[in-house]
Chains A and B, each alone.
Chain A
Amino acid sequence: MLRALKILKIFYLQFPLSVKLAALFVFLFLLFALFGQLITNYGFRETSLFDRLKPPGSSDYFLGTDSRGRDLLARLVVGSQITVIVAVVGTLIGAILGSLLGILAAATRGKTETVIVAAIDVQASLPIIVVALFLLAMFDNSFVLFLLLVGLNGWEIYARLMRGATLSAKEQGYVLAVRALGASPFRIYLIHILPNIFSIALVQFTINLPITILLETALSFLGLGVQPPLTSLGQIMSEGRDRLLTAWWLTLFPGAIIFFLALSISIIGDWLRDFLDPSIGKNL
């Protein structure tokens, strides 16, 4: 136990200040999303027409209220939860889908690989928000569809990275050894190769996470993402947009949370990439 703490301390001393601050913000944000409900007396859908557009700091409403008298603090807590869920689940979907397709392409070669590589090229040439808007126009908007859409974000990057890594791992000695021992392809790729190239996907995950957050909030801001009665940080912003000059707190608080969250995660992601792969150097 003491030993573990010591190792943790050594690691902690190595962190640059920016990473420490970023990790602190992410930690505080998660605390806020998980337990924020405890510091307010109101539910996020509870309206009170007598208390509309109260500025921050008014009695009872610490961060003010919106145009229907709903407590902004309670809405921010729920919005943060939804944003985190969509971002993490969406990024996971993209990571798993993309990685599996990439490994599949490298494992099979031949026609399957051609199809997957063509799909990667098509996806890479289209901005994800345009694809998402297209699919939203085609199908009825629902929370599950929205999750899947957000999950499409960046799958082609995982697929490309994992395909390259698998192709080079395939030629290494340990793979030849397990193959000679008669392991099935499933065993070779998922049990032996995947753990060895996992760090690539992990780094890409932290790089993709802020992009997913920005995509979700942008779509919700356009009114095409998370639908009421649920709420997300982007949706709270779009509701406050028309009252920018009279009720600035409705846009600035959720906006600041989105900005600092995306900033913190991308700082951590950049640091993780340099830390795990020193060969890139400090130039980038």
Chain B
Amino acid sequence: MLIAVSLVFIFIRFSGDPAAALAPPDASQEVIDQYTEMLGLDKPLWLQYTNYLKGLIQGEFGYSLHTGRAVEDIFLERLPFTLNLGITAFFISLFCGVPLGFYAALNRGSNLDRVVMGFSVFAFAMPNFLFGLLMILIAALWFNAYLGGEAANVLFPAMTLGLASMGSFARFSRSSLLEVINAPYMYAAEARGILFHRRMLFHALPNAAIPLVTLIGLSLGGLIAGSVVTEQVFAWPGVGQLLVRSVATRDLAMVQFIVLSVSFTMVTANLLVDLLYLFIDPRIRVD
């Protein structure tokens, strides 16, 4: 986390003079100097760095260059929309992808298995902006409705966002269950005469689900990345759209805050996944 924070600082400092970027293009040198002083850029570099860290710890993240409001306020306004979209997408992909994968593994080699595998390749190669546009087209032509920007119509954007992770969930859970099914203890259970359903539910599924925890942690990154594009396609007023807009207008403070929160979220999520592993898989505790 400290590395990420420091990298952000280094990049901002070496990308040019923020005071000159902030001041109007035809501003005199005096005005630029004034901005420089206001932003603390006249101080030595190490002092700037410690001030920057101090600001982050005290919760002062700076002000948007365009609206002049505190960046965290704008961010928090947008966050519920992104959470709404992201969580819906996550559950759609989890509850469609994993059963599909398990079902394919149980019917290995059947036509259904091929369809599921085909779907996961399709989901991987489908750019989410194209899928989103197709969704809009379908909604407009068949349902005579324009689905965009309305909080109630979260379904289509969430399906767009969740498509890629649905494919990887299906693929991964299929291979993970296949691995478990052929394990010696499954044969032992069969030899003891345990019924098929009981064998699958209590012996195979818990073991096949363990690697999926890793994938859930990884899919968070995919969801964040995907939401940047999906929100733009559906005009969804979330953080992703804010990020794209801030990049286009070069609102550095805003971009910096969003990137820091994304990396904070990712680091926390990875930590949680590791802890969860300790909790659900006793084998790791022994090591």
Contact = CB atoms under 8 A, between A and B. Distances in A.
Interface of A: 118, 122, 125-131, 133-139, 210, 214, 217-218, 221-224, 234, 237, 241, 244-245, 248, 251, 255, 258-259, 262-263, 266-267, 270, 283-284
Given A139-B15, A258-B127, A130 B229 contact: no
A133 B243 contact: yes
Contacts of A266: 121, 124-125
Interface stretch (B39-47, B88-96, B205-213, B220-228): B220-228
Given A241-B133, A244-B137, A133 B228 contact: yes
Given A127-B224, A133-B259, A251-B133, 4 more contacts: A130-B224, A134-B247, A137-B250, A218-B229
B219 to A, nearest CB: 11
A134 B229 contact: no
Contact of A263 (B121, B171, B262, B266): B121
A222 B125 contact: no
A137 B255 contact: yes
Contacts of B11: 134-135, 138
A222 B229 contact: yes
Contacts of A283: 175, 178-179
Contacts of A128: 225
Nearest to B4: A122
A125 B129 CA distance: 23
A222 B267 contact: no
Interface in B104-147: 121-122, 124-130, 133-134, 136-137, 140
B51 interface: no
B124 A222 contact: no
B228 A222 contact: yes
A218 B171 CA distance: 24
Given A126-B266, A129-B228, A133-B244, A214 B127 contact: yes
- Secondary structure call for the B interface: helix
B82 interface: no
B232 A222 contact: yes
A83 B108 CA distance: 37
27 contacts: A122-B3, A122-B4, A127-B221, A129-B228, A129-B229, A133-B228, A134-B255, A134-B256, A137-B252, A138-B12, A139-B15, A214-B125, A214-B127, A221-B127, A222-B229, A222-B232, A224-B244, A224-B248, A245-B137, A248-B137, A262-B125, A263-B125, A266-B121, A266-B124, A266-B125, A270-B121, A284-B171
Contacts of B258: 130
B165 interface: no
Contacts of B266: 125-127
Contacts of A224: 244, 247-248
Interface of B: 3-4, 7-8, 11-12, 15, 121-122, 124-130, 133-134, 136-137, 140, 171, 175, 178-179, 221-222, 224-225, 228-229, 232-233, 243-244, 246-248, 250-252, 255-256, 258-259, 262-263, 266-267, 270
A84 to B, nearest CB: 16
B251 to A, nearest CB: 8
A125 B267 contact: yes
A118 B3 contact: yes
Given A126-B4, A210-B125, A259 B130 contact: yes
B129 A284 contact: no
A130 B225 contact: yes
Contacts of A136: 247
Given A218-B229, A221-B229, A255 B3 contact: no
B259 A218 contact: no
A266 B118 CA distance: 12
Nearest to B178: A283
B133 A133 contact: no
A101 to B, nearest CB: 16
Contacts of B244: 133, 222, 224
Contacts of B137: 244-245, 248
B177 to A, nearest CB: 10
A234 B229 CA distance: 12
Nearest to B222: A127
Contacts of A237: 129-130, 133
Given A125-B266, A283-B178, A221 B129 contact: yes
Nearest to A210: B125
Contact of B127 (A131, A135, A255): A255
Given A118-B3, A135-B11, A258-B127, A126 B263 contact: yes
